[in-house]
Amino acid sequence: MTNDTLQLGRPSPLPASPEEAQLDRVPNPQAGTPYVARFTCPEFTSLCPVTGQPDFGIIVIDYVPGDWLLESKALKLYLNAFRNHGAFHEDCTVSIGKRIAELLAPVWMRVGGYWYPRGGIPIDVFWQTGAPPEGLFLPDQGVPPYRPR
């Protein structure tokens, strides 16, 4: 990606689907320094592939960057493209992780999908690239298990 192909700093329409969404990366100015970057999407929405009804969840993305950082505007547009996308919770969560990992080639990455109940059962989905680097400060993702009122 070059600066003239980034979506950052210019109007960008909402992609029609996650597959059509452009994810952008930028150089990591701290390459070689192990640290965790976190993105939290507290209002993630997709559609049930069976009923077409909306599903809601919280997506938390933790990664240890290598040479690249994930550009946040492009991530926002990508995640919002799921609003009209029909897929099971497991597929949404794992697809997000794999797509980002393919783009960034991070040292390590994990995605937590904390989904609100469907059919009375909450489904939490977790995916990661492998074991986190030794000695890394890795905070809890901070999303408590689902608890009804």
Domains of the chain, each with CATH number or no CATH: 28-128 (3.30.1130.10)
For residue 138, what are the contacts with CB-CB under 8 A and spacing of at least 6? 36, 62, 132
Q: Choose the catalytic residue: 24, 41, 55, 92.
A: 55
- How far is 40 from 42, CA to CA, in rounded Å? 6
User: Any catalytic annotation for residue 67?
Assistant: no
41 is catalytic: no
Whole-number pLDDT of residue 5: 82
Residues making up the chain, counted from first to last = 149
- Token digits of residue 119: 């059919």
Given pLDDT bands bounded at 50, 70 and 90, which one contains residue 24? very high
Q: Is the pLDDT of residue 36 over 80?
A: yes
Who contacts 147 (Cβ-Cβ below 8 Å, separation ≥6)?
none
- Catalytic residue, from 4, 24, 41, 48: name it: 48
Per-residue pLDDT reduced to its tens digit, 42-97 = 999 999 999 999 999 999 999 999 999 999 999 999 999 999 999 999 999 999 99
Position 3 pLDDT exceeds 70:
no
Token couple for 10: 């210019």
Read off the pLDDT of residues 107-146 as tens digits, 9 standing for 90 and up: 999 999 999 998 889 999 999 999 999 999 999 999 998 8
Q: Look over the chain and give the mean of its residue pLDDT values, rounded to a whole number.
A: 94
Whole-angstrom distance, CA of residue 92 vs CA of residue 27:
27
